[in-house]
Chain A
Amino acid sequence: MNKAKSLVSITDFDVEEYLKILELAAKFEANSYRNVLNGRVIASLFFEPSTRTRLSFESAINRLGGRVIGFSDIETTSSTKGETLHDTIKIISNYCDLIVMRHPLEGAAKFASEVANVPIINAGDGANQHPTQTLLDMYSITKTQGTLSNLSIALIGDLKYGRTVHSLIMAMKHFNPTFHLVAPPELALPNEYKTILKENNIPFYEHTDMSSVLNEVDIVYMTRVQKERFSDLMEYEKTKNTYILRNEMLAHTKANMKILHPLPRVNEIQQDVDENPKAYYFEQARNGVFTRQAIISYLLQLNV
């Protein structure tokens, strides 16, 4: 038996597959309710709670005419009785056609994909990967810019621990972007990723202040700067207001510029930005449903 194709890491897909997903997502946006799952059963296994991601997936499954089984919290599972992840996945993969899983341990989804005989979609494994977020980011970029290619993108905030930023770099490196990396020195992009950018001849510029960058770029990708990431709290106090986007800062930005954020936000995008047409983060979340419909359909090779 061929091993089912899973989406564990953003690098599991190649460029053609990225484009295929985006094409399918556009179809689902045009008509989201398509009974292509026709009663098939999808397991939604949330070993740690993440209500927004879970509901986005469950909405996608329901719109495809599928049924959802699963749990949203580890307290209700037999893992708390000491069952191994191996056994849990082995058993549940007998009950369903695809597994969506979120797990606090890094690499859990990869391990599950080795154990299961149905596709696995990684809905987040600790601080490691969250590939459906990246694909919905890409869908949002292509939808607002009309292309993925030759864009100037500012990545702002926590570039050290922000997994969405790392995955976005890995995916967008195929589309000739220019990156502006805006972060406090303590949360700068890890060298590993800078090396990848250099190897791919992708221009990138590092900044500690976003004001010089905002007017130049097509996409502003904001992330949270979390207090607990700082070893030096003085440093946090000094920088915390530097990475907050306010409406007045958008006055001279490009007309096509859009602001993305993986959400949830705290205060890094002030509420007065929300009414600005350049604020795109709520539509971005909406795009997540179409993108997840596309990913499920693609992995199950459904006729859309």
Chain B
Amino acid sequence: MGNIQGKQMVVSAIQNGTVIDHIPSKNLFKVISILKLENIDTQITFGLNLESKKLGSKAIIKIADKFFMQDEINKIAILAPEAKLSIIKDYQIVEKKVLTCPDQVQGITRCFNPKCVTNHQNITPKFTVIEKSPNVSLRCEYCEKITDFEHFKFI
């Protein structure tokens, strides 16, 4: 096969849209779900378990005719801190966005602690990011408990 050697494309190019690269393979389906890609009817292609020097194994998503808002992009940052977004127009990369994991996260995931006040009252969960890589972990601003990546429950 040797399909990831050289410059050969494993995932076909798009004319216009967004390419999200350097997603940790194990987080691909979570990224798909928080970006709500299942609701998009344009062409989406993805590659999984691709070789990556940095991540070991990475995934890539190409979404035709879709451009993301900043708050949507922030949601990816805590799942795929190393991800890179390329905005494609006419098969050309017109803009690259490097995601940096924010120090504070608000309204993206729920607190893992069932006794946290945010899980019982209408309160937007707020977190301080206490670990950024390889996996993000968050400390709740309210109950002070730590929610690990494995326990993220996206809002």
Q: Indicate, yes or no, whether A interacts with B.
A: yes
For chain A, which range describes its interface: under 10, 10 to 19, 20 to 34, or 35 or more residues?
10 to 19
Known: A85-B117, A126-B115. A107 touches B122 (CB 8 A): no
A4 to chain B, nearest CB (A): 18
Interchain CA distance A72-B113 in the complex, whole Å: 26
B123 to chain A, nearest CB (A): 6
Q: Report whether A108 and B117 are in contact in the complex, using a CB–CB cutoff of 8 Å.
A: yes
Question: Of the 9-residue stretches B12-20, B35-43, B51-59, B143-151, which lies at the interface with chain A?
Answer: B143-151
Q: Report whether B121 and A128 are in contact in the complex, using a CB–CB cutoff of 8 Å.
A: no
Q: Report whether B122 and A128 are in contact in the complex, using a CB–CB cutoff of 8 Å.
A: no
Contact of B117 among A9, A106, A129, A192 (CB under 8 A): A106
B29 to chain A, nearest CB (A): 29
A111 an interface residue at 8 Å Cβ cutoff? yes
A276 to chain B, nearest CB (A): 36
Q: Report whether A105 and B144 are in contact in the complex, using a CB–CB cutoff of 8 Å.
A: no
B73 an interface residue at 8 Å Cβ cutoff? no
* List of A residues within 8 angstroms of B122 by Cβ: 84, 86
A110 an interface residue at 8 Å Cβ cutoff? yes
Count A-B pairs with CB separation below 8 Å.
53
Interchain CA distance A104-B115 in the complex, whole Å: 8
Interchain CA distance A104-B116 in the complex, whole Å: 9
Which residues of B in the span 123-145 have a Cβ within 8 Å of any Cβ on A?
Answer: 123, 140-145
For chain B, which range describes its interface: under 10, 10 to 19, 20 to 34, or 35 or more residues?
10 to 19
Interchain CA distance A108-B140 in the complex, whole Å: 12
Q: Report whether B117 and A111 are in contact in the complex, using a CB–CB cutoff of 8 Å.
A: yes
B118 an interface residue at 8 Å Cβ cutoff? yes
Q: B106-118, CB under 8 A of A: which get 1 and which 0?
A: 0000010101111
* List of B residues within 8 angstroms of A192 by Cβ: 146
* List of B residues within 8 angstroms of A105 by Cβ: 115-117, 120-121
- 27 inter-chain pairs at a CB distance below 8 angstroms, sorted by A residue, are A9-B144, A85-B117, A85-B121, A86-B121, A86-B122, A103-B117, A104-B115, A105-B116, A105-B120, A106-B115, A106-B116, A106-B143, A106-B145, A107-B118, A107-B140, A107-B144, A108-B142, A110-B142, A110-B143, A111-B118, A111-B123, A111-B142, A128-B143, A128-B144, A128-B145, A129-B144, A192-B146
Residues of B within 8 A of A (CB): 111, 113, 115-118, 120-123, 140-146
Known: A105-B116, A126-B143. 17 other contacts (CB 8 A): A84-B122, A85-B117, A86-B122, A104-B115, A106-B116, A106-B143, A106-B145, A107-B117, A107-B118, A107-B140, A107-B142, A107-B143, A110-B143, A111-B123, A128-B144, A129-B144, A192-B146
